[in-house]
Amino acid sequence: MSSPLKRRAATKVISYQEEDDLFNEELAVDTSTSRNSRKRSQNASDHYEDEAMPVDNSSSEEYEEKEVPSLSSKSKGRKRAPRKDLNSSPKKTPRKSTGKTKKKSKLDMSQFFWPAYRAQMEGGCCIFEFCDPTKLLLLFHTPDLRDILLKAPDAVWRAARENVGMPELEAKDISERQYITLVFNKDCHNNCGMRNVQRVNFVNCARLCGDCLFATKFERKSQYEKYLRSLHPKAFECAKDSAFSDTGYRKPRGIEKLLAKLRDMRGKELDDFVEHRRILKEQIARDARRIREWVDQQDTKRYQSAEDKKQSRKVAIRAKLLSPEMGWNEDDLDDVFWAGWKEIDQPAELTPAIWKRIKDPLLNTLRLRLIETRNRERRDVLRARYRVLLQDDPKPDIFPSFETFSHFPDVEPLWNKNKCSGDDTPEPVERETFVVLDETEWNAALVPIKASVATYQVEMETLAKERLVKAYTDKGLVVPSDPIQDPRSMFRYKAPLVLNLDYPDERDAVLPFPAIHRVMRDRQDGSRFNVVAAVAAEFRTVPEVRGWFDGRNDTLKVDLGATACEGGMPF
């Protein structure tokens, strides 16, 4: 005989009262069945007598205990208790494998909660009314609550809308649930799978991704006009206006449903419908403007809230850095530009766990930035000393560039006070009073610096002679006794291509040595127009031949007998 649970599962439509009566009947039948089963198995009832759950009769045979046969046909004295009665926990009889897995019946818990929820809904008190639209949509997308919220009255969704101050619709052309879905659900309405779609048309109530929006577009104006001629004369007048007038000719949304209504209307009914649609379109246009204003206000509030949280986090981090434990001061932090760092520019509260995680990388980056800032200030002061040495040198044309000068072994320690490779962790920044350039150190290093400059000049002269001798030899010409002073000895420097339509390419510089060295040095020092000093070439490093894909495509070669030209920009 089938159980009441199975009979209930076979029933398709049951009223609320019938459902409650059937549930009470099930509890009564299951309770009596459980009592009879306990009487038949008294030897093992000690462990099940307090059980309150109903027993499924379909599987009761598996839990009935069988009689244990006696060891002898005659009883001799006191009977021995069966071994199973001495066990503290009951054992189930092993089930014989039948090849099929039998599913245990599961009690439907919704029968406990649905009557109470129904009473809440009928009484007008629902817990969902305290949710905001975003949380209500999340609950709506869960399998357990979707059906319940689909049956919920519009007042539930209206309460969620009013909780965040969304404007009320004047047109009433969509339900409250559709209204909330339009504003807060970012999925494409064509169910193409595209998420986080930002472009929404509040007039047509459509949120479409780029591909789906393009599918509604006509390729040519003639196609659009032909489509309009095929419609009902009043169709386009009754259709909702499109907010995408600047993106081409598009098919109005919902025009097919509108055509089906217009085909069956005649005379006064048609005129009344057209007038109704005209009023509705005006209301929809006003609703769309109010919704857009509200959405823009919410975006502004969210942005401002995020900025306030970022500023609060920055103030908290600054306070920790200025603490005696960290040892930083106001001037050091003001010198370091730290806006936009991922450790700082976050709209999250600075909790102890977050500070522990970002402390070491933040301090490392701050030390590195402070070292770079101080070194840059020292280099700027050192540049003025460099210009003085350049003007006083007897061979200014072959004086090294500032980039080369600053990396001389006797010059670099004057400005690079801390190891700062950019990859490794820098040494701690000095805490004493910051001195831009120590005059005593400069005077002590001045003589070795001049010696390094003289050595550099000798190397450049030797390099120029070697290149000229090779050029004469390759052409089979007699090498002059002093190739540098020979009027035929010209160097041609071809600057790299600008690859910018706003600026023309530089002209080739064709000059003798050491004038060619001066031109290239000035480019490296940044005194030439539209030249980045850090990537400018140097006389001793630029090759004679360079491939197109080898980084810079500039070249320097000997061009014997060429006409002199200073090069640079043509204007």
- Quick one: 513 exposed, middle or buried, by C-beta within 10 A (0-12, 13-18, 19+)? buried
Q: ω into residue 514 within 30 of 0, thus cis?
A: yes
Using DSSP's 3-state secondary structure scheme, residue 528 falls into coil
Q: Which two tokens stand for residue 4?
A: 């009441």
User: Three-state secondary structure along 377-413?
Assistant: HHHHHHHHHHHHHHHHCCCHHHCCCHHHHHCCCCCHH
Contact (Cβ atoms closer than 8 angstroms) between residue 519 and residue 511: yes
Q: Which two tokens stand for residue 155?
A: 């007042």
Q: Position of tokens 């198995």?
A: 41
Half-sphere exposure (Cβ direction) of 380: Cα atoms closer than 13 Å: 7
Using DSSP's 3-state secondary structure scheme, residue 12 falls into coil
Contact (Cβ atoms closer than 8 angstroms) between residue 243 and residue 284: no
Query: Average pLDDT of each block of 10 consecutive residues along the chain (571 residues)?
Result: 40 37 38 40 36 35 34 43 45 52 49 53 63 91 87 89 94 92 91 88 87 81 78 81 53 79 88 90 92 95 94 92 84 76 88 91 85 86 92 93 90 81 60 74 93 95 93 92 92 74 72 91 67 62 55 76 78 48
Quote the CA–CA distance of 131 and 120 in Å, as a whole number. 16
Q: What angle do CA 524, 529, 535 make, to 5 degrees?
A: 35
Quote the CA–CA distance of 369 and 375 in Å, as a whole number. 10
Residue 93 makes CB contacts below 8 A (sequence gap 6+) with: 62, 63, 64, 65, 66
Other C-beta atoms lying within 10 Å of the C-beta of residue 370: 21
Q: Which pLDDT belongs to residue 87?
A: 44
Beta partners for residue 491, in sequence order? 511, 558
Using DSSP's 3-state secondary structure scheme, residue 519 falls into helix
Q: ω into residue 352 within 30 of 0, thus cis?
A: no
Catalogue the E-assigned strands of 391-528: 491-494, 509-511
Distance separating the N- and C-terminal Cα atoms of the chain: 105
Q: What one-character DSSP code corresponds to residue 165?
A: T
